[in-house]
Amino acid sequence: TYVVTEVCIKCKYTDCVEVCPVDCFYEGANMLVIHPDECIDCGVCEPECPVDAIKPDTEPELDQWLEVNRQYSETWPNITTKKDAPANADDFVAEPDKFQKYFS
């Protein structure tokens, strides 16, 4: 599966949702996640994210993000249409510790 990682938090550009053939993105207040059981591993979303937040779940250090994606995709609403990013999204691209500070 592919997973959305920390860089998405507070950036949320939503380019990714437009290309997913199975519509498996889910939206929180500050981040999107992918439903790991719905993702068909096509990989087309990965290059669409302007901040490289989407990664294939092949690295051990992504286990925590797989869990975040799995847990929150069960309760957050589905999103299939691109929307405007937060007005200050560009200010948060390089922000450290976004999960601790802003995850929602």
Cβ-based nearer residue to ligand SF4, 41 or 61: 41
Nearest to 82 by CA among 5, 31, 14, 33: 14
Q: Is 14 in the site for ligand F3S (CB under 6 A)?
A: yes
Could you count the other beta carbons within 10 Å of the beta carbon of residue 14? 20
* Chain residues that interact with ligand SF4, rule: CB under 6 A: 2, 19-22, 24, 34, 39-45
Question: Residue 12 binds which one of ligand SF4, ligand F3S, none, with CB within 5 to 8 A depending on kind?
Answer: ligand F3S
Q: What SS3 string covers 41-60?
A: CCCCCHHHCCCCCEEECCCH
- Per the CB < 8 A criterion, the answer to whether 93 and 11 are in contact is yes
CA distances from 36 to 1, 43, 49, 88 (A): 6, 13, 18, 29
Q: For the segment 25-64, give every residue that binds ligand F3S (CB under 6 A).
A: 32, 48-49, 51, 53-54
Query: Which member of 3, 16, 33, 62 binds ligand F3S (CB under 6 A)?
Result: 16
The site that binds ligand F3S (CB under 6 A) totals a number of residues, namely 14
Amino acid letter, 8: C
Question: Residue 2 binds which one of ligand SF4, ligand F3S, none, with CB within 5 to 8 A depending on kind?
Answer: ligand SF4
Q: Is 11 in the site for ligand F3S (CB under 6 A)?
A: yes
